[in-house]
Amino acid sequence: MTSQGAKPPRRRRGDGRMDRHAFGDVSSVSSPPTSGRSASAGAMSRRAALGFAGAVAATGLATPALAQTTIEWKMATAWPADLEGPGQSAQRICDAIALLSGGRMRVRLFPDGELVAASGIFDTVSAGTAQMGHAASAYWQAKMPAAVFFTAVPFGFLPHEHVTWLERAGGQALWDKLYAPYGVRPFLAGNTGAQMGGWFTRPVETLEDLDGLKIRMPGLGGEIMRRLGATPMSLPPTELVQALSSGLIDAAEFLGPASDRALGFAEVTKLYYAPGFHDPNGANEMLVNSVAFDGLAEDLKAVVIAACRAETLQSMAGSDWRNAQAFDALKTEDGVEVRAYPPEILAALRDTAAQVVASFADAGGLDRDIYKSYARTLQKLAPWSSASTRLFLEGRET
């Protein structure tokens, strides 16, 4: 067994380099050949190979190892085991890495609290205690305020627009730069889609109803609620239902109908608000320790990237499908009442969101660069998204 620092034999590639943001076809890495063997050696019959090994032994020379050494990594996640959506995403990534590497690399998953609490994942990966971590960048807002841009921005990107920013408009390079001082490399690794506004134990009908409201809402959404008089709180997913039931909090947002139903929110309250103004996108991230990643052979780096990319597509499709079914079940089977934020509250949320997001321009440095890149890309994409999607949906509904 090798740890993160060991290097398995390197696979020969054309020019020995690979653009980690341009990896597409995973078929070329699903069954990597043994490094250093020629085509004729690769075609050697089993009998000839055994004869060669016997001849080497007879001469008293050391016999080369015939099996590949397996690299074993740990992945800490922010999710309960097998949680609908992100918990399943994390496990599928582990499975894909083992499959695509032909068993040369295996990742053991540790759900929230088993190795470290969700709030400690970034530091755990930075220190190398776990080589990987699956979470959401908004969790690191206290450490890096601009990290929230890589999960979701209130009234900002939809999931497909977020991918466009990372892949085509410079977002990934800024994300890499933000985490680099901590020895961590980020990858988009799943998306739970557009979210709901949250579960409330009492109705919110006017702006005055937000005064003193204790709500679990991390990220920029929480700051918007604070400016409107609420008290935002940060709690891990495993504690939300109990906190809502005990009265520790008055409201809580998590993800979408599928994950929310799986956690049991509908057993505590029947008031479910929309839209998820704070999280129109639910990007998950894979954190990878930089030293561990750089120590991998090029084809294994490609395996990690491919597994994350494949899961992003898989999770986006899965989230829409599961959320559609769960949304119906919440209303027809669980007796949940879905309410829209009143126009007065929604308008105040939108106006306050614009102020909160624009404040990053005043921070200077990398925070300002991230804000400007995000805002510039949103301004470019919004007219097309409106013409191609919003107007289409309005027409389909009529």
**Better pLDDT: 15 or 227:** 227
- Decide if pLDDT at 17 tops 60: no
If you write DSSP's letter for every residue of 5-18 in order, what string do you get?
T--PPPPP-SSS--
272: left (phi over 0), alpha (psi -120 to 50) or beta: beta
Contact 309, 22 (CB under 8 A): no
* pLDDT for the residue numbered 238: 86
Q: In the prediction, which pLDDT does 221 show?
A: 92
Identity of residue 27: S
pLDDT band at 26 (very low <50, low <70, confident <90, very high): very low
| pLDDT, greater one: 67 or 186 | 186
Going by pLDDT thresholds of 50, 70 and 90, the confidence category of residue 45 is: very low
Question: Which among 379, 350, 320, 119 has a CA at the least distance from the CA of 220?
Answer: 350
Round to whole Å and give the CA distance between 225 and 231.
7
Report residue 396's pLDDT band, with 50, 70 and 90 as the boundaries. Answer: confident
pLDDT by residue (tens digit) across 174-195? 999 999 999 999 999 999 998 9
Cβ atoms of residues 105 and 97 within 8 Å: yes
Distance CA 142, CA 136 (A): 13
Tokens of 281: 């996108």
| Residue 276 DSSP class | -
Q: Would you give the DSSP letter of residue 2?
A: B
d(CA 278, CA 224): 9
Residue 37 has pLDDT above 50, yes or no: no
Contact 325, 228 (CB under 8 A): no
Q: Between residues 19 and 372, which one has the greater pLDDT?
A: 372
User: What confidence tens digit (pLDDT) does each residue in 103-154 have?
Assistant: 999 999 999 999 999 999 999 999 999 999 999 998 998 899 999 999 999 9
C-alpha–C-alpha distance, residues 84 and 264, integer Å:
12
The predicted pLDDT at position 1 comes to 41
**pTM for this model (two decimals):** 0.76
Q: Is the pLDDT of residue 41 over 50?
A: no
